[in-house]
Structure formats: structure tokens, C-alpha cells
A and B are shown apart, each in its own frame.
Chain A
Amino acid sequence: MNKPLRRVAIFCGLLVLSLLIRVNWVQFVQADELKNDTNNRRVAIERYSQPRGNIIVGGQAITGSTTNDSGDFKYKRTYKDGPMWAPVTGYASQAFGSNQLEKLNDSILSGTDDKLFFSRTVDMFTGEKQKGGDVVTTLNPKAQKAAYDGLGKSKGAVAAINPETGAILALASTPSYDPSTFAGMSDKDAKAYNALLKKNNPDDPMLNRALRQTYPPGSTFKVVTAAAALENGLYTDINAKTDSPLPWYLPDTAHQPLNNEGNIPCENASLKEALRWSCNTVFGKISADLGNKKMKAEAEKFGYNDAKIDTPVRAAESVYPTDNRPQNAMAGIGQASNRATPLQMAMITSAIANGGKLMKPYMVDKLVAPNLNVVQQHTPEAMSQPLKPENAQKLQEMMEGVVKNGTGTNGQIDGVTVGGKTGTAQHGENNKDNPYAWFISYAKTSKGTPVAVAVVIEGSDTLRGDIAGGKLAAPIAKKVMEAVLDGNK
């Protein structure tokens, strides 16, 4: 019986060997993959085992950490003025993950980033627990507060940029939410989170309207159309009469007229006058005359049709599509399928205010290690040159005219040069929904141009017509600009 016994011995040996091979496969080959699997709770336990680094605005942390009394997770995220800063910070929830800056800079905030290798190694030797680094943002707390308070109860968004650097100064979106309410993982947190979901809350408070929502830009887009006219040499003198009949009929249609809002002097109006009165006929015709290709090219120089505008939080893609002639004419006055994010409109304004050079928008100035060493510093970089400096000059003059004695007088600030453009975008099938009120503007002092801002308000019931942008959105833009100017004094 010894021969089969030896074979059985070999067989049993093979059984044990196969187990050894299997555990080597799982614990050596697959180990990293399993260890870092998103469903592996250890990842989250590890993450919340120490206080997270902070997101910093104007030298103050707008986030914090508090200890949890129960459960696996020791530390929980807290937010200061959560609803106001939510469009910037995003959320970091034990139960629902994270988004925006909390997610994009997670490795720094949780202290696992390779850039922190040195400080982590030192901590290892000194026996300190792993600590998170900080994210220093470019935001201006006063401007943010002005924007958030200005929006108040209405639905809308504000984006403000420093035209000279591209630094984002304000990023507000209403209605908002407080990320603190679901930072933990209790039933209460789950309830708070579910109540915020779009399917349970039609106002969609977790939507970051400043970056992630596109709207028809309405008349504010006329500055781009004007830029295209100047850049392409269609018109060179902003005070010379244009070839603009009234009424003007959309091309390729059976005599469908493009109407102006109200009875305004638009026939053959100069570019400056046309912008001041916001003449649909003049700018619709410019867009038609230039054609879809040139209009699209100019819009793209300002950042349209770019799906990868990362601030680092990625903005939704603003669209200026390839279109037929009547649609292109409509797009030239910011209607039809032309859609833009508030950030996009702020970028357009900043490029005009910055002498035609568009700076890449960003909101993270630097990443700081726990020992306060800077591990990454943003240097402003140019994104494109949508306008020649002299054309930028002309556009500034036109926009300043709008605020001085046009539709945007509500944006005036004493002792400061303000350029702006109002907009009221029609919205919905046959224009049945409430229009969006827009205002874009910049403020200029002797020291430079510190701020460009775009404001959009959805669904206000008050007024229709071009005046709405000036009436609803302009005061908010003004407050934001004033807040920035105050800080710069």
C-alpha cells in the first residue's frame, strides 16, 4: 500500500502548495489593488483617522475637523459658512465621498500625497501621526460674502476673476447647502444628504451653478460678437455708423424679423451705441455677416467649446456650436444653442479688461505641507489672446458706455471706471419660462483692473426685457466689485 500512500502524500503536498500560491497571489500580486479598492472600508477608516488638512481663504480656514464619538471614523469634516463656500470646497462626507476641491486635493488634505513624502518620513521617525496639508485658495472672503448675500434667496450664481492673473475671487451659487450636515455617516447625515438630491429637491442645491451649469448668455454675449467684428475687421471704428437696417430679417428665413427689446434707436447704430442699447438687430447681423466659422473661432478663443477648463474643479463646457445661418445669427446675441457657464462669462469680461489677454482661471494658489512648506505654487499663465490690445481698448470703451449711460447704470461705482453689459436670456420653448438676468462687468482703477465679474439670476418673476439684467444682476456685481476694491485700497 506504500506506493499509493506516497502519491497521496504528494497530492496533499500539492493541495498545500496550491494554497500557498493562492495566498501569494492575493496578498502579494493583488494586494495593492484590494487594499485601495474604493469599497474597502479601510481606505475610509485610514482617511478619517486623523484630522484632515484645511481649505484656506484669506488666511482663514473655512473647514475644520471634529472628533466623532462613535463608529469607525475618528474625525469628521466641519465647514464654516458652509452654504457660502460649498461651491468652492465641495464636500467630504464619510458616507457619501467627496467632490470638488475636497476630492481633487484629497491626497494633500489627507496627507497621503507623494509631495508630502519628506514630512511624512520625518513624522515616521518622530512618531507623529500623519497630518494633512492645507489648500490655500485665491478666493476673496469679502467678495464671496457680497456675492452670496447679494444672490440671497434668488436662484443664481456669481463668478469673479482677477483679470490680471486669472485668480478666482468669488464663486457663489444659490440655493446652496451646508456640507457639514452630511459630513458624518449617521442616519441624520443620510437624511440630510438625500433631501439635497435633485430628485428630492427640484432646486438642486448641490449643483454648482457658477461652474457646472450652462445658460444662454443672452445680450452679454454681444461683447464677444463685437470682439469678433473688430478682430475680423468687419468694423474698425466703434463710433462709425454700421450697416444695420431696421427691421432686420434673419437670413435664410421667410422674412422672420429679429426684434429688439422695446423701441430703441438701432438703425445703422454705431457699435458703441448698439451695445449701449443692446441692439439685437445690429449684433445679429454682425454674427450673420461674419458667419458661423468666424464667430465660433472667436468664441473659442474666449474659452468656448473647451471641455477641460480646470480651475482645478472642472467647469462645464460652454458651447458655441456649428450651426446654420439663422441659428448662428441668434447665437450672436446669446440665444439659440449658445450656452455659457457664469465662469465663462467672467473669463470673457476679464479678457476684455486685461487688454485682450485671457488668463487661465484658477482657484488654488498653493498647497502647503503640514509643516507649512509650500509644496506646490500656482503661477498665473495666459490661456489665449482673443483680442488685440487696441480692440480690447475699444471694447472697454463700449462697455464703459453701457454703465455710464446705457442699460447698466446700476453697476456704477463712484470714482471707479466700470465697464459692463446686461443680458436677459430668453429661456424655454417659445420663451415661456422666466428669463435669466445677466450682468457682466469689470472695475478699473488707476492701479489696475482687479476684478471682472459675471452674475446670473435664474427665474426671477419681476421684470422682463433687457432692463432685468441691469436691475437684478448689476447691483450684485457692483457689491462684489466694491468688496474687491475695498480690499485693494
Chain B
Amino acid sequence: MTILQGKQVSKSGASHGSGHIGHNDPDDGFSDLHPAYSTLQAMAESNRCLYCYDAPCVTACPTSIDIPGFIRKISTGNPDGAAKTILSANIMGGTCARACPTEVLCEQACVRNVSEDVAVEIGSLQRFAVDHLMARDELPHPFKRAPLTGKQIAVVGAGPAGLSCAHRAAMLGHDVTVFEAKAKPGGLNEYGLAAYKMTNDFAQREVEFLLGIGGIRIEYGKALGRDISLGALRDGYDAVFVGVGLGATNELGLPGEAFDGVDDAIAFIEQLRQTEPKSDMPVGNNVIVIGGGNTAVDAAIQAKRLGADEVTLVYRRGAEHMSATEYEQELAKINGVVVRHWAKPVAIKANGKLIGMGFEKTELQNGKLVGTGEKFEIRADQILKAIGQKIKTDDLAGMEIAGGKIVVDENYQTTASGIFAGGDCIKSGEDLTVQSVEDGKQAAIAIDAFLKTA
């Protein structure tokens, strides 16, 4: 399972949508973080867009969606046309509208920040358009397949990268088989994003929509290394795309890490996403979350919303070093999460059962993070680790790995000919859904070119 660093919904007004939930009714805490725009709201906001030329927001989006173009279509009463503009660049524009850290991507670049200190809410407008189109079940899938090539492509992983690759490859006329280890498609969209960002089973609805193009078959329960191998796929298909994400989590390296109650935050989020009603999800009374990314924040907020008395997020450096965006950090505080900086975990305390964690304060000395020797303890009956994920290398024999990522050339091809890769398992941009979608799309285009010359 990978973690998507820096992934959250963006909104200028952090206060709305941060509904506190009582201990009695955790289910209320997992409704939409930001309610969808009404048509009136969409019209008002779309008319704030200046329709910039060569717009900075487009440059700031990894998938280069024609943002002024789609916003103008909303403002003229053409939301379905807007959705097609979005989806032609980013077939998972619906998830990205909900989960992208727009405050550090498109909205950060909006020229309205300069003139008014308030960006156009591009994420909310994108969601409005895509939701509008997806709600119209009677419409055919908006993209047509090119004449069939007869080529067969294998895709490993039904996450954002794999599905994006599959969709674009199908559009280019190839037939695609996707192999997915889990029982459901969507990858992190289904398992890794906070529940209040992906309400109404959106990840599954989006996959269903995406598959509407045809030519894509998904085989579930097929794990790389267990049920399939890259070698066999390369032999059986004209090309292979690997979008396996980051399958392993980092360890604290402390005694007692296997103790009952010490969990991976990513597994916690995954279990929560799959639990209905949410009130069935177990959570500790006193929860410690270790980490500084958005997975840490997501886990902390959700633990609090599930009814934990105290949730403390501990990060070894300062707020400015956290990879969670400012908005996300603010959201944690609004939700009652206590955030402690400059402390590293040094001991897991247990007395038959988990009772707490020992920390040492930290500081920077000549740019290096060191312990100060000053220690403290926080009580806990649950500890969630969100200190990053890494690639599972066991099943990737035959291709070069560097810096914990699969090495690819400028065409997304790995060192094994005919095998391409994208998403969190390669080093492209940030580990974000939007980046994975772009990787998958570009890889499909590269595969198409590869197949034409092969």
C-alpha cells in the first residue's frame, strides 16, 4: 500500500466542513468535508475566473487540464462540456477535485491570489463539472476508442496510475487486462484517502465510469509475485504497465513495534474506508499518530472523529517541515488534534497492554536533527505509524531500482524492454493521485508509440 503524501481537499475556508462529531455518533463525522457546489455557487465562482491566457493554474497542474477553458464552459451553462475538457486530460478528475492539494497546486497559482488574496476555487468547480456529467447515466462514455489495434496490454495494479493507463490505452485502440491484488479497484482512491473526502462510494463510481470506454478487463485477487509474474506478462502481452504503488511501510525500529495496538496509519485508513457503518470501526481512547504527512493528518482527524478522547500527532521536526499542507495542519487543529513538533519516539510503553509512548525532544544542530536528551511520555492505547512507505522490490526482478523507486526513461519504459511503469512506484512528481493519473496517461501514449514501432 502506498501513501499519498500531500493529498487533501483544498478550500480557502478551513472552518466549514470540519464538523465535530460526538462519541455517540461517529458516522456523522464522515460526510462530505466540503459540500458540493450548487449550480448557483458554480455560476458565481466560475465567473470569478479571468480566463487567463497560458494560465498559471494549468502549468501548476500535473495533468495540464485546460482550467480556464473548463471554467468558462461552466460559466456559459455548459458543465458537461467542461467535464469533457477535464476528463480528456485527467480521467480521474473527479477524485482529484476531491483529494488534490489544490492549495499548493492550481489554486496556489491562480492570479486572483494576487488581485484579491482569494483564488478561484478550481477544485470545487472541477468537482461540479465532473459530477454533473457522471450523474447523467443516460449519456454514453464521453470518449471513443480508436480503431482496434489487436494489441494486448497488461496493467499491474488498478490504482490511479494503472486505471489511467488502461483508459488511455483502450482509447488508443488497444485491449487491456488489469491485474489487481485486492478485491476492489481504485487503489488508494478506494483504500487510502480519508473517508470524508470520498463520500458516496465515489471511487467505485469513478472506476465504473472509466470502464465505460470498453476494452478493459480487470482480474481481481491477482497479486504480483504470487499469482502473476512480470516475465510471464511480458511473454503473454504486447506491453506491460506496472502501477503497483508503494507496497511496504516504514518501521519505527523500536522494541514492541509488533505489540497489539501499534498499527500502520495506512492500514487504519484502509480499514475505516471499508467499514460501514463507521461506528463499527474500533479506535483507542488515547491515540498517538507519528508522522508529518497528510496520511498522518488524515489518520489523526479520523481517529478523533471516530470518538477518540485524545489524539496527539507527533512530528520530529517543525510545522514548516511537515509535508502536510498548511491547510491540512489547520484542519487537524480544528478537529481537536493536538499537534506536537520537535519530538521523536524512543520507546513503546506496555504493561500487558499498550499504555503509552516515550519521546525525546529534538532540535536542529548545524542542519542536522538531533535529540536533546529531554524526554517525556504520552499515554496511548493506540499508536498509528505514518512515517512513509516504500516499494516492495521482491517481485520486480529484471528492472533497475534506484532510490527506492523503479527507474524509467523519459518514455516511462523501465530497464526491461516493453515494460513500462508509473505512479508512486516511480520517481515522477509528488506522490499524488493527479501525478499517478498523468503518469498512466503518458505511459499509455508511450506504449502506443512503442507498439507502432515494435
A, B in one complex? no
Which residues of chain B have a CB within 8 Å of any CB of chain A? none
Which residues of chain A have a CB within 8 Å of any CB of chain B? none
